[in-house]
Amino acid sequence: MSVQQMSFFHEATSTVTYLVWDEATGEAAVIDPVLDYEPKGAKVSREQVSEILRAIEARGLKLVYVLETHAHADHLSAATRLRDATGAQVVIGAHITAVQDYFGKVFGADDVTADGAVFDRLVREGDSLRLGKTEISVLHTPGHTPACVTYLIDGAAYVGDTLFMPDYGTARADFPGGDAATLYRSIQKILALPPETKIYVGHDYLTKDRKTHAWETTVAAQRAENIHLRGGVSEADFVARREARDATLPPPNLILPSLQVNIRAGALPPAERDGRVYLRLPVTEI
């Protein structure tokens, strides 16, 4: 193989971050890095960032991209921290502008412009990036969010939250801009890849029958075993099941801090007049 990878599992958020590199040149990309956040004390730290940087240094790699599959609602992105440390470009799907527009208004984030400018590169379906001698191809796979993308690298698909391990199923589609029918069509694009294509998921949640975390599967396994897809489920049946399931799900624990940071490419909001940084909690009275 011309590409190598290692993974980092973030226990607190069940997130999997990937470090992928081109063996011939040492050029590397990190996919979906996590900024550690302790919500009770609103404390930000860099445990995973430091671990990734140590791995990069130990292997003599040059980080050229931080690839975001979407604006996450369950963890704070460390993209800006890695960019500041290495000069890497932060890449995300071009439809992030719709996410910025919506959540910028929700949080009253006057510093956020809905143009994606805080990211270095916005990618669309069919775009490609060079990682040394390796090509990274982009699929637009919305449904979970409007901006979700899948990165295809050397026979592997990094799908973010679109698919999970087959025994857990698929992403929720009830966030603003999400849509179960759109998600179904995006999944079909992924399942149309060669059956041996490896799929690396963005999270892993244990089930009652599995006690060990896993995050690598294949297109063939997803087709045959995914609990929301097996048997060639129709779009209508998938939508009905997905929407019924979503109606029972609470918001992710870190949705409010995550989104106001992640629409800023992982940067914290600007300091207020007292020099401190604050995260906002919009209140809904019911």
Single-letter amino acid code for the residue at 258: S
pLDDT at 190 (0 to 100): 98
pTM over 0.85: yes
pLDDT tens digits for range 220-239: 999 999 999 998 899 999 99
pLDDT tens digits for range 118-167: 999 999 999 999 999 999 999 999 999 999 999 999 999 999 999 999 99
pLDDT tens digits for range 18-44: 999 999 999 999 999 999 999 999 999
pLDDT at 1 (0 to 100): 56
pLDDT tens digits for range 72-101: 999 999 999 999 999 999 999 999 999 999
CATH 1.10.10.1100 fits 3-262, yes or no: no
pLDDT at 174 (0 to 100): 97
Chain mean pLDDT for the chain: 97
pLDDT tens digits for range 165-194: 999 999 999 999 999 999 999 999 999 999
